[in-house]
A and B are shown apart, each in its own frame.
Chain A
Amino acid sequence: MTATTTAPPVPALEIRGLVAEYRTRRRLGGRGRTVQAVAGVDLTLAQGHTLGLVGETGCGKSTLGRTLVRLVRPAAGSVHAEGIDVAGAKGVRLRQLHRTVQLVFQDPYASLNPRMSVRALLAEPLKVHGLHVRRREERIRELLDLVGLDPAHAGRYPYQFSGGQRQRLGIARALAVEPRILVLDEPVSALDVSVQAGVINLLDDLQRDLGLSYLFIAHDLSVVRQISDEVAVMYLGRIVEHGPAEQLYDHPAHPYTQALLSAVPVPDPRVERARKRIVLTGDVPSPLSPPSGCRFRTRCWKATDRCAAVAPPAVDLGGGHTAACHYPALADTPAGNGA
């Protein structure tokens, strides 16, 4: 390891009041409008842990992930990765940041340059950061071995690999600079289940062996349960519930989490046919004009006037489990019934 191993006892990631915005295109004569994709998020990722971030299309989970590697600049709030201020880092600190946090993309077909050999793909980050100058070939072999690929295949090109192998290449490339944190954005959702299981196991092993911290962004709630220590549920730019994985899946407190979990089909016919499903009515409102107060209230069977007037703060339910709801379900009451 290198000089960065003097790890201070700080969390891997510390996100405070994070806001990320996009401008919509200007209309004729008018001005562009602002969409808050991330609308005030607080999250902490402990060293060596995996935080699963789940939510449906457009909830802002990928934008949040991108703020951690400076692909998106926050409009407000702060993000610290191993103590480095992500938005403010310059010069040496910026290089250090890029060695600390790496992003793994969903689509290993689009994120690997098809004209570069595996050797060139893995050597590039080493060159950029001036690493292993004398033993690059050896390092490339190490990396391939680390992700379960044959080191003899360094001369091949991405198209010669299957989807699962390509995702392993994407992970190897991210690991080349010896990062401490991986932001994994839907890393297995393009893969068939028989292959997906191998990549999930690999991520588990790498975390244990290298002491990595993961922010695991995914829409597949079963995959997230399998890999995460903690889980945060996002809806329209806000975290609605957060807690230890076991606690959150077994005793969801926020109505949205309850609906989300109840909607996932279980591959077990007797269990699946006996399940009570909370079917949400309506659609996710436009992020251009989110509802006042609680953003979920337009689809919530528990909503009252209070929900429209006051945005619910995160309520502490004990054991690190929080829910941003005025009427959270408590652990000993059964999950709410659909309206």
Chain B
Amino acid sequence: MTPTPPLLAVEDLTVRYRTDAGPVTAVDNLSFEVAAGSTLGIVGESGSGKTAASMALMGLLPRTAEVTGSARLHGQELLGRPDSAMRDIRGRRIAVIFQDALSALNPMMTIGAQLAEAVRVHDRSRSAGELRERAVELLDLVGIPSPAARLDQYPHEYSGGMRQRALIAMGIANDPDILVADEPTTALDVTVQAQVLDVIRRVQERTGTAVLLITHDLGVVAGLADRIMVMYAGAKLEEGGVEQIFYRPAHPYTRGLLAALPRIDRRLARLEPIPGQPPQPHDRPGGCLFRARCRHADPDRCTRPLPAPAEVSAGHLTSCVRVHEIASAG
């Protein structure tokens, strides 16, 4: 990694929701960095806090959420800003594409009008003609055929894959420093998913934007991410380069996820499920959050408060305190 300061630096990010049953911790003391132009994959199962963490950065959590910690983009603090100040950053410096493109698009407006609006919100100097030109350029960039004609169509006239691409076009309309992609291909069929992943890759090559890729699909991050962060019950359990995570996973949970995964290239003798369930968000144990499901859990060491994730090798961190003993045990 280069010694330049990170584009995005998140420190001790915590998200709590106020509920009738008491406060619920969705994200717990999360710290990570994203380098300019790189892709960080955030991997986790339902309820791991991966979406809550990224929405906190965007200032898009509901009022019942209490966000603490720090998130600096180019040294500028994102958390705790009033909505009006956040609006200036959102879409321009940090943009998001959601899973469900149909509900993220306005059904009453043409795609072209929505693209023009996305540009105009942050740049009022452009004429109508220039806005249209930019919209065509954006649709072309995300690989929509005959973009000039497609501009005047409505979302319902687009297929699912094209809508997701239009949404990506809107996300990159103002050349953001970082694009947050929250399960961008989860609702799509696999052949369409391949097209959309190609588009994200191409857009990144052409514009140099960093990508925060949030997904439950390990196959998607294997192809796209430079670094991967594995989340579980709101906390980071492991972080490392893509090859470190896949070929030398350190945390028992990461190992478990990889062993539970069926493969397209060969049939495994038997899958290895992870026993049990993640802890309930309002009933989180102290110590290691994964210990109830871990076959390496130590009744003493794993119940004590965990130190911050530590390096097992350069750039490869894990929260597991038994990582060295486990590695030798296999």
Contact = CB atoms under 8 A, between A and B. Distances in A.
Contact of B271 (A200, A219, A262): A200
Nearest to B48: A192
A162 B271 CA distance: 20
Contacts of B264: 221-222, 225, 249, 261, 264, 266
B198 A279 contact: yes
A266 B222 contact: yes
A191 B296 CA distance: 25
Contacts of B197: 265
B265 interface: yes
Contacts of A195: 273-274, 277
Contacts of A260: 190-191
A269 interface: yes
Interface in B231-290: 242-243, 246, 256-258, 260-265, 267-268, 270-275, 277
A267 B267 contact: no
A34 interface: no
Interface in A241-261: 245-246, 249, 259-261
A194 B243 contact: no
Contacts of A4: none
A273 interface: yes
A25 interface: no
Given A226-B267, A279-B195, A267 B277 contact: no
B260 to A, nearest CB: 4
Contact of B263 (A263, A266, A279): A266
A184 to B, nearest CB: 15
B219 A267 contact: yes
A162 B223 contact: no
Contacts of A204: 270
A193 interface: yes
B162 to A, nearest CB: 8
Contacts of B272: 197
B195 to A, nearest CB: 6
A200 B262 contact: yes
Given A56-B191, A197-B272, A267-B218, A245 B257 contact: no
A201 B271 contact: yes
A283 B273 contact: no
B189 A267 contact: no
B49 interface: no
B246 to A, nearest CB: 5
Nearest to B277: A162
Assign chain B's interface to a size class.
35 or more
Q: Which residue among A192, A193, A260 has the maximum number of chain B CB atoms within 10 Å of its CB?
A: A193
Interface residues of A, number: 44
A283 B271 contact: no
Interface residues of chain A: helix, strand, loop or mixed (majority): helix
Nearest to B293: A194
A94 B197 CA distance: 48
Contact of B220 (A197, A200, A225, A265): A265
Contact of B190 (A223, A249, A263): A263
Interface in B196-224: 197-198, 216-220, 222-223
Contacts of A192: 45-46, 216
Given A226-B271, A269-B242, A271-B265, A57 B194 contact: no
B161 interface: yes
A151 interface: no
B159 interface: yes
Interface string A261-300: 1111111111111000101100100000000000000000
Contacts of B161: 283
Contact of A225 (B189, B193, B246, B263): B263
Given A225-B263, A226-B267, A194 B274 contact: yes
A269 B271 contact: no
A200 B273 CA distance: 9
Given A56-B191, A197-B273, A269-B243, A264 B46 contact: no
Nearest to B256: A194
Given A57-B189, A269-B242, A225 B262 contact: yes
Contacts of B218: 193, 267
A269 B190 contact: no
B213 to A, nearest CB: 12
Contacts of B261: 193, 197, 222, 267
Contacts of A196: 260, 273
A190 to B, nearest CB: 10
A265 B270 CA distance: 21
A198 interface: yes
Interface in B127-165: 159, 161-162
Given A225-B264, A272-B219, A283-B161, A193 B193 contact: no
Q: Which residue among B256, B258, B260 has the maximum number of chain A CB atoms within 10 Å of its CB?
A: B260
Contacts of A272: 219, 222-223
A219 B191 contact: no
Given A201-B270, A222-B262, A265-B223, A193 B257 contact: yes
A268 B222 contact: yes
Contacts of B46: 163, 192
A338 to B, nearest CB: 10
A308 B274 CA distance: 50
7 contacts: A226-B262, A260-B191, A263-B194, A264-B219, A267-B263, A279-B191, A279-B194
Given A163-B46, A223-B262, A263-B193, 7 more contacts: A193-B261, A221-B190, A225-B263, A261-B264, A263-B194, A265-B193, A280-B195
Q: Which 9 A-B pairs have the closest CB atoms?
A: A265-B219, A198-B273, A197-B271, A263-B194, A197-B273, A226-B262, A194-B274, A56-B189, A197-B260
